[in-house]
Chains A and B, each alone.
Chain A
Amino acid sequence: MTPQDLLQLLSQRQVRRLRVIENLLRGRKTVSTLYWGQRYGLLYLLGLDKALQRGALDQVAQTLVTQRLAAWTQDEQPQLRLTPAGHTQQQATTYYHPQTALTWPRVDLKLVTQRLFLAVQVVSQYAHHNVQYYPLMTDLATQQAVRQWFHQIKSTALAQMVLTALTHSLTQLPELTAMVTTAGLSGYQQPGQTTAQLARTYQESAWEIYLRRVDGVIQIATDARKRDHPLHPLLAPAWQTPVTRSAQATLAAVTTTSLSLDQVAQQRHIKPSTVREHLLEAAIMLPVTAVPYDRLLPQTTRQDLLAALPGALDDWEYMALTPELQARYDFFTFRLLAIWCGKQGEMA
Chain B
Amino acid sequence: MMESLTASLKRGFGHTTFREGQQAALTALEQHQDTLAVLPTGAGKTLIYQLYGYRHAGCVLIVSPLLALMTDQVNRMRVAGFRRVAAITSLTSYAERQVILAHFADYQFLFLSPEMLAQPTMLAQVQQLRLSLLVIDEAHCIVQWGPDFRPEYLLLGAIRERLARPLTLMLTATADSATQHEIAKQLRTTPQIITESIDRPNIFLDVEAVANDAEKRERLLQLVSQLVFPGVVYFSSKQLASDMAQWLQEQTGLPIAAYHAGLSSEDRFKIQQQFMAGELAVICATSAFGMGIDKNDIRYVIHYHLPTDLGSYAQEMGRAGRDGQQSLAVLLSAPGDERLPLTLMEANRPDDTTIQRFYAHPQAFDSDDPGIALLTFYYQHGISLAAVQTLFTRREQERHHALAQMLAYAREPDCLRDRWLTAFGQADSTHTAKCCAPAKVPLDLAALGLKRTVQPAVNPVTLDWRARLETLFLSNN
Contact = CB atoms under 8 A, between A and B. Distances in A.
Given A140-B99, A183-B465, A132 B475 contact: no
B269 A196 contact: no
Interface in A138-164: 139-141, 144, 159-160, 162-163
Nearest to A180: B465
Nearest to B477: A129
The B interface, classified by DSSP as helix, strand, loop or mixed, is helix
A197 to B, nearest CB: 7
Nearest to B263: A194
A313 B134 CA distance: 68
A191 interface: yes
A186 interface: yes
B347 interface: no
A192 B270 contact: yes
Interface residues of A, number: 45
A137 B268 contact: yes
A182 B470 CA distance: 10
B270 A194 contact: yes
A188 B468 CA distance: 11
Interface string A168-210: 0010000100110111011111111111110011000000000
A182 B465 contact: yes
Interface string B47-84: 00000000000000000000000011001101101000
A136 B272 CA distance: 11
Given A128-B475, A141-B95, A186 B273 contact: yes
Interface string B271-283: 1111011010000
A4 B72 CA distance: 37
Contacts of B268: 137
B469 A167 contact: yes
A159 B473 contact: yes
A163 B469 contact: yes
Given A140-B99, A182-B468, A182-B469, A134 B474 contact: no
A167 B466 contact: yes
A141 B471 CA distance: 28
B267 to A, nearest CB: 5
A190 B471 CA distance: 9
B266 interface: yes
A117 interface: yes
B266 A136 contact: yes
Contacts of B96: 139-141
Contacts of B465: 170, 175, 178-179, 181-183
Nearest to A144: B99
Interface stretch (A119-127, A235-243, A251-259, A334-342): A119-127
B473 A191 contact: no
A127 to B, nearest CB: 5
Contacts of A159: 473-475
Nearest to A196: B267
Given A137-B266, A160-B474, A194 B273 contact: no
B125 interface: no
A135 interface: yes
Contacts of A214: none
A136 B473 contact: no
A10 interface: no
23 contacts: A127-B474, A128-B475, A132-B81, A133-B79, A134-B269, A135-B78, A137-B72, A137-B268, A139-B96, A140-B95, A140-B99, A160-B473, A163-B474, A166-B469, A179-B464, A182-B465, A182-B469, A189-B277, A191-B272, A191-B273, A191-B276, A192-B273, A196-B267
Interface of B: 71-72, 75-76, 78-79, 81, 93, 95-96, 99, 249, 257, 263, 265-274, 276-277, 279, 462, 464-466, 468-475
A-B CB proximity, top 6 nearest: A191-B273, A140-B96, A182-B465, A163-B473, A159-B473, A137-B265
